[in-house]
Amino acid sequence: MNKKPVIGITGAYVKHNEYMEGVYVHHDYHKCVAANGGIPVILPYINPKMAIETLALCDGLILSGGEDVDPKLFGQDPHPHLGPTTPERDVAEIAMVKYALENNIPILAICRGVQILNVALGGTLIQDIPSQVKEPIQHNQKIDRSRDTHWVTIATDSKLFEMVGSERVRVNSLHHQAIDKVANDLRVVAQSSDGIVEAVEYIHPTTFTVGVQWHPESMASTNHEMNNLFKDFINSIVKVPASV
C-alpha cells in the first residue's frame, strides 16, 4: 500500500474583523489536491527557518495566490498602485522555493506563486499591469473565477503543452502584477496576446517545476486541461511505501 503524497499549500493573509485574522487558502486548492490523490496541508508563514522545516514534511509544494509581492525584494520602490503586501510571507516563500529546488521537491506555482518563484530566482515584476503595460487586455476579470476570459499561447516544446495538449488554451485571470524580467533559471512557455508572461518552467528539469499566472484550481472541476496540471504535478511525486 502506498501512502498519498502530502502537498503543502502556502497560505495568504486575510482579516475578517478585529477578532478573526490569519492564514487563508481558497478551498479550490485543497479540493484539487484531494481530487487528484494528494493530502493538502496549509503552510503558515512564520519565518524562513520554520517555513523550511514545514516544507521538509511535504512531498510537493503549491505556491498559492494572494497579496502583492514587496518590491524591495527585486530592488524597486513601490508603484502608486501597489496593493497590500506581507513581507513575512514573501521571505518565507522565497526560502521554500530555494529549499524545494535544492531538494528536488516538485513545485506548482500559481498566480502570485509564479511571481514569487521568479523573484526568488532573481527576476523582477510588473507592479501594475494597467498603468505599466501598453494596451493590456483585462487581467483582473469581473466574472466568477471559475470561468475563462482570455487566450494564452503555449510553447509546443514545453511540459505545459504536454499537460494541456494544445497550443492555445482559455484561462481565467485574477491579477494586476506579472513577471517582468524573467529569472535566468526560468523559461517562458506561455504568453497572452499583450505579451504578459503567463507560464514559466525551470530550465533544470530534475523535477516538476511549473508556474502559471492564471488559477487552474478554480477551473479544474470542469476543465480536464486545467486539472491535468494538478494530476501531473501529483503523479510526478514518488510515493513511498507506507510503514506497517
Strands laid side by side in the 60-63 sheet:
39-43, 6-10, 60-63, 107-110, 209-212, 197-202, 186-191, 150-154, 168-171
CB of 214 closer than 8 Å to CB of 172: yes
In the residue annotation, 217 being an active-site residue is answered as yes
- Among the options 58, 93, 111, 198, which is catalytic? 111
Q: Terminus-to-terminus CA distance in the chain, angstroms?
A: 9
In the residue annotation, 111 being an active-site residue is answered as yes
In the residue annotation, 93 being an active-site residue is answered as no
- What's the rounded Cα separation, in Å, for the pair 241 and 174? 39
- Among the options 93, 198, 201, 217, which is catalytic? 217
What is the band of 238 on the pLDDT scale with cuts at 50, 70, 90?
low
Out of 3.40.50.880, 3.40.50.970, 3.40.80.10, 1.10.3720.10, the CATH code matching 6-235 is 3.40.50.880
CB of 137 closer than 8 Å to CB of 201: no
What are φ and ψ of residue 145, in 5° steps? -65, -15
Q: What is the mean pLDDT of the chain?
A: 94
CB of 232 closer than 8 Å to CB of 130: no
- Among the options 30, 175, 176, 215, which is catalytic? 215
In this model, does residue 38 exceed pLDDT 50?
yes
Average pLDDT over residues 112-126: 98
> Domain-by-domain residue ranges, the chain?
6-235
The Cα angle at residue 43 between residues 211 and 66, in degrees rounded to 5? 50
Average pLDDT over residues 17-43: 94
- What's the rounded Cα separation, in Å, for the pair 172 and 140? 9
Determine the pLDDT at residue 77.
Answer: 98
Compute how many other C-beta atoms are within 10 angstroms of the C-beta atom of residue 48: 17
78 vs 204, more confident: 78
Determine the pLDDT at residue 205.
Answer: 74
**Which three cell numbers mark 207?**
523535477
Query: What percent of the chain shows pLDDT beyond 90?
Result: 90
In this model, does residue 243 exceed pLDDT 50?
no
Determine the pLDDT at residue 1.
Answer: 47
